[in-house]
Chain A
Amino acid sequence: MKALRKYLDKIKPNFEEGGKLHWLHSTFDAFETFLFVPNSTSRSGVHIHDARDSKRTMTIVIVALIPALLMGMYSVGLHHYMALGLEASILTKFIYGFLAVLPQIVVSYVVGLGIEFIIAQIRKEEVAEGFLVTGILIPMIVPVDTPLWMIAVATAFAVIFAKEVFGGTGYNIFNVALVTRAFLFFSYPSKMSGDQVWVRTADTFGMGKGTVIDGFSGATPLGQLATTGAGSFGEFTFQGITGQPLSISDMFFGFIPGSIGEVSTFAILLGAALLIMTGVGSWKTMLSVFLGGAVAVVLVNLFAQNAIMEMPVQYHFLLGGFAFGAIFMATDPVTSARTEKGKWIYGFLIGLLAITIRVFNPGYPEGMMLAILFMNAFAPLIDFYVIDGNIKRRLKRAAPSK
């Protein structure tokens, strides 16, 4: 550590005003503050220093995402070997999944951070930490077979048009990871939905070669339900990729096809526990998303006319991106409502809208992405009225009626 510090101190003058590598100042600064705690603090005014700076917040979110990421990787390997009809150990399955997902993570980080570094350099600003979380979220919310160049294009699009044009980390209106997914969803629908993209059948770096067995179907449970001919939910059974029936516990632990992050509700809840315990994610937003979803499902169930309208509430929460969106996307501190009362309204409407889109629009079996993006746009409005109401209430209290 000492040697590293010494080395940094030795090369530092090059990057300061007048140094020959001054144009790389932001890059140097980013690495220095990443490696060592900066010893410069504000010199004016009164400041309270707290251990929870944005770097630590980001780190905690990433740690909270790890269980879901690992379960997702295992699920990728599990489904791959199931689709090929091969026997493999748990470790082999996991390694296969790890190798399949790794390139996506690398591409997302390289492209996103690359653009952030370049823009920080041009604007002579510090490199912000915002992309650390976005970079891991992107591979977790797209199908495992999404081509890498598509992830690169979509990441570049989202970082530039959803974040940097608004002023960078902390100023974006829409969740950057979800904008990436929305871009992919509307640009390349054939790679983002349907029953061909959720299970990786090709080999990864020569691992797990084989041919797909007969009777294989890669549709997600929600996709199956959206296209089913069954007249009622009672006649319908969810099927795994080889036609085996799926139980509630399969859905809970993540043995279903889907995006990497969303499959295992169990792992997502582990992450949620960490976020709530450390105070990084708001439990109010999370709870109100589920409440909103539950209300919508109960209402829809009352007037049910087909299988998806009859689906009970626990399936809605376990399937698709509902839980993942509620825990990791809706709670994004930048794009969600900031007032405490506003969080309840914001979350509730996300849940309501997500279920509504899911049930009533057969074109989009998944409604969570659109619901959150839509409510992102309304979060400032909600905050405005909550604060406005607060001011009015207090004015009334301060000046009693004549």
Chain B
Amino acid sequence: MALSSKTKAVLLGPLSKNNPIIVQVLGICSALAVTSKLEPSLVMAIAVTIVTAFANMIISLLRKSIPNRIRIIVQLVVVASLVTIVSEVLKAYSYDVNKQLSVFVGLIVTNCILMGRLEAFALGNGPWPSFLDGIGNGLGYGWILVVVGFFRELLGSGTLMNFQVIPDALYEMGYENNGLMVLAPMALLLVGCIIWIHRANNKELQEKTN
């Protein structure tokens, strides 16, 4: 399936140049809270992608009939129902991860990225581009979460997806897991590092210094 250049920009822009976390700095709260392990980060990434994509599509379908003054309420109803579905599915099929994510599944409702996309994109574009925009932004959010989750679990717990990857021999030589990695401040620093590398590679994102 060949995509037109505009569709491509909608889908792929949020992965790098227009990334919700590392360029727009939205959705930081959940990014810090759920990334102490790789598994919840992955699940959270998938959940946000699905909710954003479908919420975008539904709002886009309804956009001509939503009265402007109550649009936030309508958006919340749509998002809340989607989040409830996701939350119930998680409870049914992976209860442990659902417990680790705790309130953050429910808080997808107030995720800045989600509300931002609905306001900025879905209300002014057709359902198919909106759906792609939702997927793109969800994935843009998701890959940051997965990278942060990967490093935090590897260095903080010595495991990946709960399998031990750091060999016992290394522990016997005196290696220890880094306790700070499990705490939220390190997630902020890791996100900062990703922003650092990203901006170093994209000159157009750098502000002009005097």
Q: How many chain-B residues does the 8 Å CB contact rule pick out? A: 10
Q: Is B162 an interface residue (CB 8 A)?
A: no
Contact: B189 with A186, CB < 8 Å?
Answer: no
Q: Are B174 and A188 in contact (CB under 8 A)?
A: no
CB-defined contacts of B175 to chain A, threshold 8 Å: 149
A149 adjacent to B179 (CB under 8 Å): no
Task: Answer whether residue A45 sits at the interface, using C-beta atoms and an 8 A cutoff.
Answer: no
Q: Are the CB atoms of B178 and A147 closer together than 8 Å?
A: no
Let me know if B174 and A147 touch, CB within 8 A.
yes
Q: Is A183 engaged at the interface, CB distance under 8 Å to the other chain?
A: yes
Q: List 14 A-B contacts (CB under 8 A).
A: A147-B174, A149-B174, A149-B175, A165-B196, A183-B180, A186-B179, A186-B183, A187-B180, A188-B176, A188-B178, A188-B179, A189-B179, A190-B176, A191-B176
Q: Which residue of chain A is the closest to B193 with respect to CB atoms?
A: A161
Complex-state Cα separation, A356 to B153, whole angstroms: 34
A148 — nearest CB in chain B belongs to which residue?
B174
Chain A interface, DSSP helix/strand/loop, else mixed: helix
Q: Kindly identify which residue among B174, B178, B189 contacts A187, using a CB–CB cutoff of 8 Å.
A: B178
The number of chain A residues touching the other chain, given as a range, is: 10 to 19
The 8 A CB mask of B173-204 against A (1 = contact, 0 = none) is 01110111101000001000000100000000
- Per the bound structure, the CA–CA distance linking A161 and B189 in Å amounts to 9
Known: A147-B174, A188-B176. 16 other contacts (CB 8 A): A149-B174, A150-B176, A161-B189, A165-B196, A183-B180, A186-B179, A186-B180, A186-B183, A187-B178, A187-B179, A187-B180, A187-B181, A188-B178, A189-B179, A190-B176, A191-B176
A116 CA / B175 CA spacing, docked (Å): 26
A153 (CB) vs chain B CBs: closest residue: B178
- Encoded as 1 (CB less than 8 Å from any B CB) or 0, chain A from 141 to 154 comes to 00000010110000
Taking CB as reference atom, which chain B residue is nearest A189? B179
Residues of B within 8 A of A (CB): 174-176, 178-181, 183, 189, 196
Q: Which residues of A contact B183 (CB under 8 A)?
A: 186
Q: Which residues of A contact B176 (CB under 8 A)?
A: 150, 188, 190-191
Residue of B nearest to A186 (CB): B180
User: B196 — which chain A residues lie within 8 A by C-beta?
Assistant: 165
Shortest CB distance B177–A (Å): 9
**A321–B180 Cα gap in the complex (Å)?**
22
In whole angstroms, how far apart are the Cα atoms of A32 and B189 in the complex? 36
Bound Cα distance A149, B171 (Å) = 13
Chain B hits for A189, CB < 8 A: 179
User: How long is the Cα–Cα vector from A189 to B177 in the complex, in angstroms?
Assistant: 10
Identify the closest chain A residue to B156 (Cβ). Answer: A187
Q: How far is the CA of A363 from the CA of B189 in the complex (A)?
A: 25
Closest Cβ–Cβ distance, residue A194 to chain B (whole Å): 14
In whole angstroms, how far apart are the Cα atoms of A125 and B180 in the complex? Answer: 32
The residue of chain B having its C-beta at the shortest distance from the C-beta of A150 within the complex is: B176
Bound CA–CA A322/B183 (angstroms):
27
Q: How far apart are the CA atoms of A186 and B180 in the complex, in Å?
A: 5
Across-interface contacts of B178 in A (CB, < 8 A): 187-188
Give the complex CA separation of A149 and B173 in angstroms. 11
Distance between Cα atoms of A149 and B181 in the complex (Å)? 17
- A147 to B: closest C-beta gap in Å: 6
In the bound complex, residues from chain A placing their C-beta under 8 Å from that of B180 are 183, 186-187
Question: In the assembly, what is the distance between CA of A190 and CA of B178, in Å?
Answer: 11
What is the CB-to-nearest-CB distance from B150 to chain A, in angstroms, rounded to a whole number? Answer: 18
CA distance A171 to B126 in the complex (A): 50
Q: Report the bound CA distance from A205 to B7 in whole Å.
A: 67
Question: Bound complex: CA of A183 vs CA of B181, how far in Å?
Answer: 10
Once bound together, how far apart are the Cα atoms of A191 and B180, in whole Å? Answer: 13
- Closest chain-A Cβ to B3's Cβ sits at a distance in Å of 39
Residue of A nearest to B178 (CB): A187
Find residues 171-212 in chain A having any chain B CB closer than 8 Å to their own CB. 183, 186-191
Nearest 4 CB-CB pairs, A to B?
A: A187-B180, A187-B178, A186-B180, A187-B179
Closest CB of chain A to B195's CB: distance in Å? 11
Chain B nearest CB, measured from A130 CB (Å): 21
**When chains A and B are docked, how far (Å) is the Cα of A190 from the Cα of B175?**
12
B50 CB → nearest A CB, Å: 35
Which of chain B's residues have a CB closer than 8 A to the CB of A191? Answer: 176
Contact string against B for A residues 120-153, beta-carbon threshold 8 Å, 1 for contact and 0 otherwise: 0000000000000000000000000001011000
Bound: A150/B178 CA distance, A: 10
Min C-beta distance of A119 to chain B, whole Å: 13
List, in ascending order, chain A residues with CB within 8 A of B189's CB: 161
- Residues of B close to A183: CB separation below 8 A: 180
Q: How far is the CB of B179 from chain A (nearest CB, A)?
A: 5
Report how far A190 CA is from B177 CA in the complex, Å.
Answer: 11
> Which of A147, A165, A186 has the most chain B CB atoms closer than 10 A to its own CB?
A186
A188: B residues at CB distance < 8 A: 176, 178-179
Q: In the complex, which residues of chain A have a beta carbon less than 8 angstroms from the beta carbon of B179?
A: 186-189
Expressed in whole angstroms, the Cα–Cα distance for A188 and B183 within the complex equals 13
Residues of A within 8 A of B174 (CB): 147, 149
CA distance A322 to B181 in the complex (A): 28
